[in-house]
Amino acid sequence: MLMKSAPRIVLYGRHSTSLQTITSSQDQTASCMKLVDYLNGTVVATFHDPEMSGYKRNLPGLKQLLRLVEDGEADMVVCESLDRLARDGEDVAWLGKKLAYHGAELYTVSENHVDQVKFGIAALLGAIFLKNLVDKTLRGMAAAVAAGRIAGGRSYGYDSRKIYDQEGERIRGYLDIVPVKAEVVERIFRDFASGLSSIDIATALNLEAIPGPRGGEWNASTIRGDPKKHTGILNNPLYVGRLIWGRRKWRRNPDSENRERRYKMRDQSEWLEIEVPDLRIIDDGLWEAVRAEMQRRSISNKPREGEADKPESPAGKPRKKHLLSGLIKCSHCGSNYTISGKDYYRCAGHKERGTCGNTLSVRKGALEQAAMAVLQHHLFTEEHAKIFTETFNREVKKISGNEIDRERITRNRLAVIETELENLSANMLSGLLSPTLMKMLSDREAEKADLETRLSRTAPTKPIAQMDTSKNRWRLTA
């Protein structure tokens, strides 16, 4: 690759946790200056991502760096080592392809020039590192729980206990009960057991300006949670002195740029349960009274005989997405308008927290119809129709082109296989028969059959459809 005499260089630094020096990212980019001098380059920008995991792809500094590369304003990226940019194997490969596509090179202090071979090796090492890190972390957390320490988030009603070992290092995972918050927990359990709803309890706490678990207002869902998943104040076994760990298996969605975390419940046999009587806030009687009240309300919400059309309680079920979900705001408090009942939108501040005086409910059908009418009026114009048509036809052409490329590749491979089969057959006729030759013949025959099957299923190579807007009408033409 021909390079300008003074390549434009972007510096990048990242460190993972707050346990590292606050200037760690800046120290990394500073250590790159000798390499910049060696490359005879000019630094055009420097980006840092302090206290950010290398597993994430949507890091703010990294996104700005890539945007600069995409705009053609940088020729090289320089950092301390490749694992500063990415750790996950898929992300490393993606990064290598992206930089190569935009004609930018990567240099690091550790690896010097990073070519495609080094990208491949780094992807493998990164995957191994992450797997080992996860395994070690889980082993450490399990050991902490077995010793009666908390391995995870801190529940409402507790505060971290500051304990240090002989070397002055803090021992994490020990909690102390906060008396004021413990009284709130007891109150929530008593009120629910006496018949108050989680909405009523949240409303009362908010009216008294009692801060919620995160310092803000209380929500009904924070109190009720999901009994099956042990979420919510009323379902936390820690309040009766039982520490349960390993209920959820966390996963990351590979299709998301944000790498959002999702989980599924593990089988109960995989849970680790430890008695921690020092952390008990409520007695067993009150705990069982709440369980009985939840069961009573669950049964009362189920359809009775002769009431097959009665809807079951939505508690614990996944919430459905509606057309205007998250798009309607309350003019009084700014909260979202959410679905209430079957077909009404209501202010969540009034419904869930009792902190808003806006009692207006809007029928879903009428509101959605009005919204669609506005969209139709403003979007269904000649200009927008033209943009839509051009975009649609461009995507169809791209799909058709991909189909043609795949078919051409398949046919080329089939021609190669047929030639190899002819050569193998000639060798067999010459008496050159061996187990290896027989295996090669069998493999090529199987691949030939697969390629022929693929070609027989190949869609027509002509465009699937085209959008035609002539005569002021939209129509699809094959």
Q: Is the pLDDT of residue 2 over 60?
A: no
What pLDDT, on a 0 to 100 scale, did the predictor assign at position 8? 92
User: At a CB cut-off of 8 Å and minimum separation 6, what does 212 contact?
Assistant: 205, 218, 219, 222
97-126 pLDDT, tens digit each: 888 888 899 999 988 888 877 777 666 666
pLDDT over threshold 80, residue 395: no
Lowest mean pLDDT among 22-31, 55-64, 79-88, 428-437: 428-437
Three-class secondary structure of residue 267 per DSSP? coil
Look at residue 438 in the predicted model and tell me its pLDDT: 73
Is the pLDDT reported for residue 423 higher than 70? yes
Could you give the percent of the chain with pLDDT greater than 90?
Answer: 12
| Better-scored residue on pLDDT, 57 or 223 | 223
CB 282 within 8 A of CB 189: yes
Residue 347: other Cβ atoms inside 10 A: 28
The pLDDT assigned to 222 comes to 87
pLDDT at residue 41 is higher than 80: yes
Nearest to 177 by CA among 162, 202, 156, 153: 156
Going by DSSP bridges, is the β-strand pair 158-160/175-177 parallel, antiparallel, or unpaired?
antiparallel
Statement: residue 1 has pLDDT above 50: no
Q: What count of Cα atoms within 13 Å lies in the side-chain half-sphere of residue 347?
A: 17
DSSP-H helix ranges across 78-236: 89-101, 116-146, 179-193, 198-207, 220-224
Regarding predicted confidence, which is higher, 122 or 76? 76
Residues with Cβ within 8 Å of 13's Cβ and at least 6 positions away in sequence, in order, are 24, 25, 26, 27, 28, 29, 46, 47, 48, 49, 79, 80, 84
What's the chain's average pLDDT? 76
Residue 192's pLDDT band (cuts 50, 70, 90): very high
SS3 call for 88: coil
Instruction: Decide the pairing of beta strands 105-108 and 76-79.
Output: parallel
Choose from 6-10, 52-56, 86-90, 373-377 the range with maximum mean pLDDT. Answer: 6-10
What is the share, in percent, of the chain residues with pLDDT greater than 70?
70
pLDDT (0 to 100) of residue 312: 46
pTM: 0.49
Residues in the chain: 478
Residue 47, helix vs strand vs coil? strand
Please count the other Cβ atoms lying within 10 Å of the Cβ belonging to residue 309: 6
Mean pLDDT value of segment 181-188? 93
pLDDT band per the 50, 70, 90 thresholds, residue 255: low
What amino acid occupies position 210?
I
Tell me the pLDDT tens digit for each residue of 438-454: 777 777 788 888 888 87
Greater confidence (425 vs 7) lies with 7
pLDDT at 154: 74
Give the model's pLDDT for residue 335. Answer: 79
* Beta strand segments in 359-458, E: 362-363
For 271-328, the pLDDT digits (tens) are: 777 788 888 999 999 999 999 988 888 765 555 555 444 444 444 444 566 667 767 8
> What amino acid is encoded at 107 in this protein?
Y
| Selected residue with higher pLDDT from 405 and 34 | 34
Nearest to 235 by CA among 274, 198, 202: 198
pLDDT in the model for residue 317: 46
Q: How confident is the model at residue 263 (pLDDT cuts 50, 70, 90)?
A: low
Question: Angle of helix 89-101 relative to helix 60-70, nearest 10 degrees?
Answer: 30
